[in-house]
Amino acid sequence: MYKGEKSIRAGIEDFMCPFTDMYLTCAPNESKYHMGTMAIDVRGVEPGVRYAYYAPATVKCIKTYSESGQVMWQTVNNVRCSNGYIGKVTFMTCHDDTMDAYPGLVVPQGNQLGNMGTKGNATGVHCHIECSQSSDTSWIKNSYGNWCFKTEVDPENVFFMDNTNIINGLGAWKYLKDVPVGEVVDQILHTGSKVKLTGVYTVKDINVKDNTALITIEGKDYWISATPLEEV
């Protein structure tokens, strides 16, 4: 993405790749520092340059780790990702020598988020980034001794690559055209969600007053609209 870029479709921000130019220097599980994680390291066109990167969506700073120029960010609202997921995204950026983020800081989509750097004994100027398609902010040490989110996803399943120049790092990257938007179908049930249900579910309870039925999906109970309300 470029500085100031915004992408909102059907009222939902698209989660853009935060880099204008992307030279992938380390992929998931490619070095001992990435083992057991979905983290990637990215530099810009020229090595050694502290290129800026931008907010892929409107995000809020959750935690900072000053010794490594590391910031945990979370989207303020539900966003759309390249694999079709719609929900919160939590992600970590690392090695920013000029880090001035603080918990509670909100950065609008397209505004500068940080700079590539070397803080934390990084080898070469770059940005280390890893993502979780959830609101879980747990930061744990895995069996390889690397810190990561509990449930990480490959950035290929998160970023839309429009207006990012991929210099090195071929993969199954996707663009906005690959995830067309018509009627929005949320993947997480919440007030106002539109969902497609498949299968047969047992109604556990009925509220005739507001035409809702209580059903269980994957072990969780949900009240859903059922109009006209009737038992089959």
Q: Taking 60 as the threshold, does the pLDDT of residue 66 lie above it?
A: yes
For the ranges 26-40, 144-158, 182-196, the maximum mean pLDDT occurs at 144-158
Work out the average pLDDT over 46-68.
97
C-alpha span between 50 and 36 (Å, rounded):
27
CA distance 98 to 79: 27
- Residue 56 CA to residue 6 CA, distance in Å, equals 8
pLDDT higher than threshold 80 for residue 4? yes
Residue 132 burial (CB count, 10 A): 24
Going from the N-terminus, what domains does the chain have, and what CATH number goes with each?
Answer: 8-178 (2.70.70.10), 197-232 (no CATH)
Query: Average pLDDT of 130-138?
Result: 96
Report the C-alpha gap between 184 and 192 in whole angstroms.
11
Least confident among 16-20, 91-95, 111-115, 187-191 = 187-191
Which range, of 13-22, 74-83, 158-167, 213-222, averages the lowest pLDDT?
Answer: 213-222
109, 56 Cβ separation under 8 angstroms: yes
Question: pLDDT tens, 148-187?
Answer: 999 899 999 999 999 999 999 877 899 999 999 865 445 5
Report, as an integer, the average pLDDT of 67-84. Answer: 96
Whether 196 shows a pLDDT value over 70: the answer reads no
- Asked if residue 232 has pLDDT above 50, the reply is no
